[in-house]
Amino acid sequence: MDKARVYRRVLRRETHASRTTPAVVAAAVLIVLIVAGFGVMAWSVLDVGIAHQVSTYPARAGMGIFVAVGCIGILLAGFFLAAALLPGRRARRARTDDEHALLVDDGVLADATADAVAARCGIARSQVSVVVGRRSVRVEVVPTSGVVVDEESARQAAVRVFDELGFVVDPTVVVAQRGVVA
């Protein structure tokens, strides 16, 4: 079998979450609701007195309970339906070449980028925050008081980390106006 094809399939499986469980739950809830609806309709057709009891029950028990249960049901149904239908992307990046496949978690990339920016700017690692999104990278630097941090050198350090792994990004670098006391 072709290595590139196998790599693509494995990397797709690792970068996308399975939608099976939410889809099964959404289908099961839908089936239960349909069966319950048909059951209530059949019961109301077979027992004439139940229609009168059901129609007067909310007036006796209070509408608040029914509204609350209905809202919770709608929210749960919406959640499971969205989870079943929307793509489940994991916070990972993948890349292949002829002989290798590379899968890197976005958190690892954020840590490596923060380390590189801190080393390049000569500040503590705790003063650099990096958020790696699906299409964006944001680097926030809080300089030490009295030390000027060059935005362009911080950006180049971040770009270098991604370039070494073969990912193309254009990071946004934000240097805080006020520094911290070291």
The pLDDT of residue 25 is 77
Helix (H) or strand (E) holding 92: strand 92-96
Range with the lowest mean pLDDT among 9-13, 21-25, 82-86, 146-150? 9-13
pLDDT surpassing 80 at residue 129: yes
The two most distant CA atoms of the chain are separated, in Å, by 84
Region 144-148: what's the mean pLDDT? Answer: 80
pLDDT surpassing 80 at residue 171: yes
Confidence of residue 109 (pLDDT cuts 50, 70, 90): confident
Range with the lowest mean pLDDT among 83-92, 106-115, 129-138? 83-92
Q: What tokens does 180 get?
A: 């911290």
Confidence of residue 1 (pLDDT cuts 50, 70, 90): low
Residue whose C-alpha is closest to residue 90's, from 108, 75, 78:
108
> Contact at 8 Å (CB) between 179 and 144?
yes
Mean model confidence pLDDT for the chain = 77
> Contact at 8 Å (CB) between 138 and 162?
no
The pLDDT of residue 104 is 74
Q: Tell whether the torsion through CA atoms of 142, 146, 152 and 156 is positive or negative.
A: negative
Kindly state the DSSP code that residue 38 receives in the 8-state scheme. H
> Contact at 8 Å (CB) between 16 and 86?
no
The pLDDT of residue 51 is 64
pLDDT tens for each residue of 68-99: 777 887 788 788 777 777 777 766 676 777 67
The pLDDT of residue 61 is 59
The pLDDT of residue 15 is 67
pLDDT surpassing 70 at residue 66: no
Rg (CA), the chain: 28
Taking the whole predicted model, whether its pTM rises above 0.85 is answered as no
Query: How far are the Cα atoms of 3, 18, 112, 135 from residue 139, in angstroms, in the given order?
Result: 36, 31, 12, 14
